[in-house]
Amino acid sequence: MFNARVLDLRSREEIRREMKKIGVTSVGVQIMLKKSDSRLIKVEGVGTKEANIIKQEMLSPGGDAATEKGTLDFSVEESDLILMGTASQYEKLLSKLKMQPFKCKQIAAEIEEVLENYEKRDFVLKLPKKEIPLNRTLVMGVLNVTPDSFSDGGKFFELDAAINHGEEMAKQGADIIDIGGESTRPYSDPVSLDEELKRVRPVVEELLQRIDVPISIDTMHPEVAKEIVGMGAQMVNDVSGLRNEQMISTVAELDVPVVIMHMLGKPKTMQEKPEYKDVMGDICRYLRNQVDAAVRGGISREKIIVDPGIGFGKTIEHNLEIIRRLGEMKSLGHPILIGTSRKSFIGKILHVDETERMEGSLAAMVSSILNGANIVRVHDVKESVRSVRIADRIAPRSM
């Protein structure tokens, strides 16, 4: 018996270690690493001329490219492509495409960028008062100062209760505390700026004196972001995804990290039969566009975090697919934040209300971490911190 088996290795570092175990030379490891990890890359809306060139250039080194059936006879004007190849095969493809006509150079540049982004591991959360290397998963504790949030609405609406909960989350190991004064649950109504500030201002003011944990402000409004960051908050979490151009200029001026989240529509209407042509493709395209708008508006690229927006205009199946395929968002080249905690899809699967969703929340959170999440937004901090530590040991960030 030769004990043959398929190796389930999920990173280049794991592949490198396995080669070292059997005595491969350092030079050999470097050469063979490029042949060992196959990647599927989807490229959308490629002209038929370029698609045929890419197909041939990918076949040449032993890779392949799936195209629409009408591409070969030019009966369609464009096609999405699914490229299949190793790092070595992509290197050869890109060198050839850069010499080809039409839009081949632009396509090559985007593929090259995506491959580089996908392997990024050296993210750092650059806050005004400290820098946190993302070589481990960060836990963001949720503090809703609202009477109507989907999970804990009203529970921490009173000032003392909110402050005590913030202190408790800090003691339990939260890396960031995200404070919000406006509910964004499905079908919720907006509140006035004055009301939102009235809710969050005293909580932030008091917690800044009591804890060392960085505070993030969860808001869609530039006026709120400006005032609360001016008080000492160090991060902005915008569930509307910087749709407000004034928010872009405000965050650029404040020079703090910002979370850009995907949401389909508005909280009031987002859960009314949400539909996508391609849920991961649509989310990535939206976030790419918003990141580009943010950078054009003066926000530093290294301070942008992306969030797929679990539960914000998504069905149960959409949410599950996002978690399952979260690694695709690494193609964007930014840290990924995700909030699965107590979301309704967990309740619907398990047939439980908000008070019974901890186990489901932890399962979804750990799955997200193993699939690429860098920051997790949670309600149950103590339990989440413990789960994160195990997940990070299973899949260390240094890989």
Q: Which residues are catalytic?
A: 343, 377
- Could you tell me where the beta strands, DSSP code E, fall in the chain? 39-47, 64-66, 78-85, 124-126, 131-133, 138-144, 176-180, 215-218, 235-238, 258-261, 304-307, 337-338, 375-378
Phi, psi of 238 (to 5 degrees): -110, 105
12: helix, strand or coil: helix
**Burial of 69 by CB count in 10 Å (0-12 exposed, 13-18 middle, 19+ buried)?**
exposed
**Cβ-contact 281, 259 below 8 angstroms:** no
The residue among 101, 86, 103 whose CA lies nearest residue 34 is: 86
| Cα 190 from chain centroid (whole Å) | 25
**Cβ-contact 176, 378 below 8 angstroms:** no
State how far the Cα of 17 lies from the Cα of 29, in Å rounded to an integer: 9
State how far the Cα of 156 lies from the Cα of 170, in Å rounded to an integer: 15
